[in-house]
Structure 1
Amino acid sequence: MLKGKRQMSESEFTFLNGNKMVEFHMLKLYPASALNRDDAYEQKTAYYNGTLRNRISSQCLKRAYRRSDSFTEAFRKIGVRTKRMPEIVGERLVKAGIPQKEADMIKLIMAGVDLTQKYEKESSKPKALQDYEKGDPVQSKAIAFYTPEELDIITEICKKLYDEIEEPKEKNLKTKTVKQNFENGFTTLTKDIRPLTLDVAAFGRMVTDNMLRPVEGAMQVAHALSTNSAIKESDYFIACDDLLNGEDDSEEKNNKGSAMMGDIDYDSACYYVHAVADLEQFTENLSGNEDKESLVKALPAGFADVMAYTDPSARQNSFEAHVLPEVLYVELKDKKRPLNRMKAFAKPCDHNVLEASVKALAANIETVSQKADLGVTHSVWYCEDESFGAPSGVTIAHSIPELEKILNEWMNS
């Protein structure tokens, strides 16, 4: 349960018609690509069942999803994840008529700088103050999600507190009384429950100060692992200088045009992508939102669309690895019993990778349905190549739009 939130009654979930959870399973086969790299610029990997697999991190997928056009189209207004909140609010304060110098002081207060202190040594100054003196943007101590409404409220609080400061305002902004007033004003934000945007409701928010309330994310996204064994390759490349051709008598006679050389790791893999959404937690997170019910009902189809049409953006200019899913399988559940089906690929699908992966996933679905009660009330399966077959007992969609239509019908029945 979220800090500061009231306990919701069962009656407030009745519009879900018993659906408590939606689960997404997807297979995507990528050509040569470098979708997610580590600090050494190598493709991310992970061992699974003793075999090295290619990996796309959960963080990479979530960022791609929430910044995609599909996400904005499906869920309209979204928030912003940033450390530059003081800069955003500071610009608004200047537009509201506050002098730049005094708006800058408020930015520093929002970044946690104690203006009542005198810092004798450069090393003792808070980072935000050092950045400001260097002309760099003022940043808060930690990155956080902000909804548009929260940024509006923070701006209103700062403007109201500024207007209450006695003249000379620039001098009095450095007093302990004003410092305490701002701290008290920001603390009210954690107690004031206002609507969240769907991306904050989905992925949650961890906070390190008293300005925002923490949010328990309603969505979990797994690290995507390859169904096949990882094979990393390296692409050697050169950049040619068009004006060097080695045809003149200069000292560059033997230079045929290579101005630089380099290499980059890449791979090609079939990834199993898994995500699960707690519909009741979504409902709680969206409390106060007048569109709460319609947003929650739209989630299964909307997020299926996001997953189907979104790929990580890394190195796409070099590799152009945008693909559609081979399989998209979605389950609605009346029990909160999620299941990551990576076990279907415990034995790597290293031959005829795509067909083997589809059949392995279908077999896992059938086996688990016979051996465990996961609370699945509805399930829909889409496969681009229908000759690969499908698990028994599921609804078949012949296209991605048809799958989304089926999910919308179930959520609104």
Structure 2
Amino acid sequence: MSQFLEFHVIQNFAPSNLNRDDTGAPKDAMFGGYRRARISSQCQKRAVREYVRINELLPAENQGIRTKRLKKLLLEKLVGRDEQEASVRIGAALAAVGLTLKDDSTQYLLFLGAGEIAAMAELIERHWDVLGVAADSADANPAKEAAKKSKKDAKASIPAELQKQAKAIFDGAKAVDVALFGRMLADLPAVNQDASCQVAHAISTHQVEREFDYFTAVDEVAYEDAGAGMIGQVEFNSATLYRYAVLDVGKLLNNLQGDRELLLAAIHAYTQAVVRAIPTGKQNSFAAHNAPEFVGICLRHGTPLSLANAFQKPISTRRNDDSLTALSVAALMQYEGKQSAAYGDPQDRWLGLDLTGRWPEDKGVLCSSVSALAQQASELVNGSFGG
């Protein structure tokens, strides 16, 4: 039976603009017929990846890099080699897998494990002379001049065995974020990786309206000038958000090439990052460093269950002394009870971190800290494998 590790988070943010649209306004969405604040899934995933990297929650070799500047990274690893000679061989090696460079960059962003980049550098070192001959052969062939931009033709001078070795490098290299969030390489469909983690757009549990901050700046030298040196405005909102993410445990283990120890380390790191990571948008202006007041983690069997519809009818504090956060947690837990009764499994297990006092006594293990929650989450998954 499939196992899914779900994260249900209630988090209240002070006035902020954490995730902007193309006009600079906070992202929002219609839900249940009402305008809601929104933080996109892409924004949340970026914040999680950065939190893991900055806080070194996983070894560098088990993290991914998203870049067009693969050539630059490879040059940094080819220590002691002439840059021009190395550049020629890097181009040939990338051509072996169907990737081309333009102005020293790949045509699109690549999401690669650090181990894949290191392995490509090692392959170039190991086949330095062969790649040099192949590159010279391609440049010297007049028939190729009109087709230099053709990926198919660029590979023609690379020995078949070397092409095979180069393609074998792209296996994800046990990069946890690649295993979690997946990737698509248009020129290497065989190494595409389906995500083991799905992240919902966070939405406010209540109706929101956009607000505007009108501001001025003083020219501190031109004292004699009347008026402001600059005038502007920035949009913002304040919202209690429901955040939801779900991990397919079996898929994550498969993406990590069956490495169970790394799976548990990934869950420990991901749990901490999901709880603590906050998008950086306009933080210098708003400093909305507000931690979640509720985190519910469920190891669910059979099928995942988002609880977003608990807020289809917006939460309101009218005629109620409780906070939006507490009311949101209460609504979430009440709705979860109904959903579990209809769709749940007796094997489902819950963990929680709750600062609102709304955690049901019979729900599951209530943790006192984020570190304890992360440890319990990894132990919960480990136990599900009989470990």
- Contact 2:176/2:266 (<8 A) preserved: no
Which residue in 2 is equivalent to 1:180? 156
- Counterpart of 2:369 (choices 399, 409, 413) is 399
CA distance in 2, matches of 1:74, 1:165: 37
| Structure 2: segments with no counterpart, 5+ residues | 145-152, 318-322
- Contact 2:114/2:173 (<8 A) preserved: no
Alignment of 1:157-306 (within 5 A): 157-164=123-130, 171-172=136-137, 174=139, 175=141, 179-182=155-158, 184=160, 185-186=162-163, 188-192=165-169, 193=171, 195-210=173-188, 213-246=191-224, 252=225, 255-256=226-227, 258-287=228-257, 292-306=259-273
1:14-57 deviations in Å (ceiling 9; x for gaps): xxxx7722111001100011100111111111111111111100
Answer yes or no: is 1:365 the counterpart of 2:336.
Answer: yes
Which residue in 2 is equivalent to 1:145? 111
CA distance in 1, matches of 2:137, 2:183: 34
Which residue in 1 is equivalent to 2:380? 410
Query: Could you say what the CA RMSD is over the residues aligned between the two structures, in angstroms?
Result: 2.9
- Counterpart of 2:66 (choices 72, 81, 100) is 81
Amino acid at match of 1:395: V
TM-score (norm 1): 0.78
Answer yes or no: is 1:319 the counterpart of 2:286.
Answer: yes
- Contact 2:88/2:132 (<8 A) preserved: no
Question: SS of 1:267's equivalent?
Answer: strand
Amino acid at match of 2:277: T
CA spacing shift, 1:343–1:165, aligned 2, 3 Å: closer
- Contact 1:331/1:376 (<8 A) preserved: no
Q: How many residues align?
A: 361
Cα deviation for residue 348 of structure 1 reads 0.8
Amino acid at match of 1:66: R
Which residue in 1 is equivalent to 2:120? 154
Cα deviation for residue 103 of structure 1 reads 3.1
Amino acid at match of 1:312: P
Identity of aligned residues (%): 27
Amino acid at match of 1:198: V
TM-score (norm 2): 0.83
CA spacing shift, 1:188–1:325, aligned 2, 3 Å: same
Cα deviation for residue 270 of structure 1 reads 0.7
Amino acid at match of 1:384: L
CA spacing shift, 1:412–1:210, aligned 2, 3 Å: closer
Which residue in 2 is equivalent to 1:119? none
Question: SS of 1:30's equivalent?
Answer: strand
CA distance in 1, matches of 2:335, 2:327: 12
CA spacing shift, 1:318–1:186, aligned 2, 3 Å: farther
Cα deviation for residue 87 of structure 1 reads 2.2
- Contact 2:77/2:118 (<8 A) preserved: no
- Counterpart of 1:90 (choices 68, 75, 78) is 75
- Counterpart of 1:28 (choices 4, 7, 11) is 11
CA distance in 1, matches of 2:43, 2:159: 34
Cα deviation for residue 110 of structure 1 reads 6.3
Answer yes or no: is 1:340 the counterpart of 2:311.
Answer: no
CA spacing shift, 1:21–1:190, aligned 2, 3 Å: farther
Answer yes or no: is 1:356 the counterpart of 2:327.
Answer: yes
